């Protein structure tokens, strides 16, 4: 675990990863809506511009490349990577510390490599969940249905998804998102068990 980063009490972390378009963000929102769990959403930092109605400090912390690089040099990230050429994402230590200081369990919504990196950092204090789309065809339909991606980006995301699917076995839980409500109920039950002292 990074220097100075230590959970308060029985705090743990929940990591969600998936190929883009698999529905992990919707699942995270469903889990966060459960009032019985003490959870907080860990907001990632990124160098990409906001999409649609995304707001600063809600979806992401939007940084310039210079600001991002400065935080990397200062060791402010638990993990970070250049996910696509010129587009970086990272998990800030301050986000986790903020929640742990309040006795809240952070929930991460990160790409597959970020999920593997976080699991390595937090070990048994973390449960890692890989959300699997029902099929690559449905994944493509979802990406196109967003209406926020160029054709070039869709092709790039689908190629990346093919590689990412091969890493599913490295996660603690693999969950097929074919029935969203059922998948959310399943993950709530899994998280409830995981968070038991």
Which pLDDT tens digit goes with each residue over 38-58?
A: 899 999 999 999 988 888 998
Q: How confident is the model at residue 14 (pLDDT cuts 50, 70, 90)?
A: very high
- Mean pLDDT, rounded, of the chain: 87
- Note the pLDDT of residue 157: 76
Domains observed in the chain: 17-195 (3.40.50.300)
The rounded distance, in Å, linking the Cα atoms of 195 and 193 is 6
Long-range contacts of 67-72 (CB under 8 A, 24+ apart): 71/45
pLDDT in tens, 72-83: 999 999 999 998
CA 102 to chain centre: 21
- Does 2 have pLDDT greater than 60? no
Instruction: Give me the sheet containing 60-62, strands edge to edge.
Output: 60-62, 44-46, 87-92, 77-84
Q: What is the pLDDT of residue 73?
A: 97
Closest residue by Cα to residue 88 from 126, 44, 55, 119? 44
Q: Which residues pair with 60 in a beta bridge?
A: 44, 56
């Amino acid at each position: 675990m990074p220097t100075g980063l230590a959970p308060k009490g029985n705090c743990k972390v929940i990591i969600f990863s998936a190929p883009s378009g698999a529905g992990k963000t919707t699942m995270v929102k469903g889990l966060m809506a459960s009032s019985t769990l003490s959870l907080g959403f860990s907001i990632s930092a990124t160098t990409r511009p906001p999409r649609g109605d995304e707001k600063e400090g809600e979806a992401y912390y939007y940084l310039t490349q210079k600001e991002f690089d400065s935080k990397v040099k200062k060791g402010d990230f638990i993990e970070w990577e250049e996910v696509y050429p010129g587009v970086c994402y990272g998990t800030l230590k301050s986000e986790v510390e903020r929640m742990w200081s309040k006795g809240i369990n952070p929930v991460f919504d990160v790409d597959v490599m970020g999920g593997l990196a976080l699991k390595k950092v937090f070990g048994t204090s973390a449960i890692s969940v890989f959300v699997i789309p029902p099929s690559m065809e449905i994944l493509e339909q979802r990406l196109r249905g967003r209406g926020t991606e160029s054709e070039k980006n869709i092709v790039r995301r689908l190629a990346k998804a093919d590689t990412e699917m091969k890493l599913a076995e490295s996660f603690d839980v693999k969950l097929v998102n074919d029935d969203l409500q059922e998948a959310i109920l399943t993950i709530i039950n899994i998280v409830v068990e995981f968070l038991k002292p």
